[in-house]
Amino acid sequence: MGSLEIRQFMCLNDNFGVLAHDPETGATFAVDVPDADAVMSELQAAGWKLTHILITHHHADHTQGLAALKARTGAFVIIPRKSSDRVGPFDQKVDDGDVVPFGSDEIRCIATPGHTLDEISYWLPGSGVAFTGDTLFAMGCGRLLEASPEVMWASLEKLVEKLPSDTRIFCGHEYTLANARFAVSVDPANAALADRLAEVEALRAAGKPTLPTTMALELQTNPFLRVHDAGLQDAIGLAGVPAAEVFAEVRRRKDSF
């Protein structure tokens, strides 16, 4: 594991700002820019100089501070190729499989369409961290605003396949408590999920963030990754149904929960 230092902070209502810093080279990136002032304050508090900005998708709550932050720091801006007509300014467009050197590690780009069509997740394998934007959340996944359930399911399967189980995962929003309450409704016999709900309630009551999560924890407790599970399928009356169809039903239920 590399020695990437990470600071996570709240922006707007429930967006996360994230800064990651390689102490050996001084390279520092921000993931998304919900609020340029919040990112600048965090940089000052840490004493870090911003070198890169990574954008996960085109929504305003992830990009509205981009122009101001670029103007104030001159950081190199990386955006999804499919956002390039909507997001700027930028220096490089990336797509699935692209690799960007960063400090003593590298940033691997994984296309994860579903919430939006442009969404890219960023993974630094040497540091064991990933940033999944509004694709994968703790015990949840993004709403399907631009794509079918099949597309999102394929993206989640891709993350499960690529990310080692001890990968620390940072997400775009603090949605964890609401996600956990829904998760229990479709996966009521899952003891690990019941334990996690109690932990998350305690963290939120104390005003603390519930992220990062890990792939291992998501595989145990995220209903959108557990659509193969016999207990979950039974609980929603879909025993033996293909995973992609179970995923679509779980997503439908979450939309009206």
CA distance 104 to 117: 31
Binding pattern for the stretch 119-148 against Fe ion, x by CB under 5 A and - elsewhere? ---------------x--------------
Whether residue 166 lies in the annotated active site: no
212: phi then psi, degrees, rounded to nearest 5: -75, 165
Query: Which residues in 146-185 contact Fe ion (CB under 5 A)?
Result: 172
Binding span for Zn ion by CB under 5 A among 63-71, 128-136, 176-184, 233-241: 128-136
Whether residue 61 lies in the annotated active site: yes
Identify the three-state secondary structure at position 245: helix
Active-site position among 21, 52, 57, 58:
57
- Output 59 or 226, the one with its CB closest to Zn ion: 59
Instruction: State the first-to-last Cα distance of the chain, in angstroms, to the nearest integer.
Output: 39
- Residue 113 interacts, among Fe ion, Zn ion, none and using kind-specific CB cut-offs from 5 to 8 Å, with none
With contact defined as beta carbons under 8 Å apart, do 176 and 138 qualify?
yes
- Residue 218 interacts, among Zn ion, Fe ion, none and using kind-specific CB cut-offs from 5 to 8 Å, with none
Q: What angle do CA 55, 119, 22 make, to 5 degrees?
A: 40
- Residue 52 interacts, among Fe ion, Zn ion, none and using kind-specific CB cut-offs from 5 to 8 Å, with none
61 near Fe ion, judged by CB under 5 A:
yes
With contact defined as beta carbons under 8 Å apart, do 43 and 28 qualify?
yes
**Which residue bears the tokens 């033996």?**
240
What's the length of the chain? 257
- Output 22 or 134, the one with its CB closest to Zn ion: 134
CA distance 157 to 111: 12
CA distance 44 to 30: 13
Whether residue 115 lies in the annotated active site: yes
Among 52, 58, 59, 82, binds Zn ion (CB under 5 A): 59
Whether residue 91 lies in the annotated active site: no
Active-site position among 35, 118, 134, 187:
134
Count of chain residues binding Zn ion (CB under 5 A): 2
134 near Zn ion, judged by CB under 5 A:
yes
Whether residue 58 lies in the annotated active site: no
Instruction: List own/partner pairs for 253-256 with CB under 8 A and 24 or more apart.
Output: 253/182, 253/185, 253/186, 254/140, 254/182, 255/143
Footprint of Fe ion (CB under 5 A): 61, 134, 172
Q: Which residues are part of the catalytic machinery?
A: 57, 59, 61-62, 115, 134, 173
Instruction: Give the residues lining the site for Zn ion (CB under 5 A).
Output: 59, 134
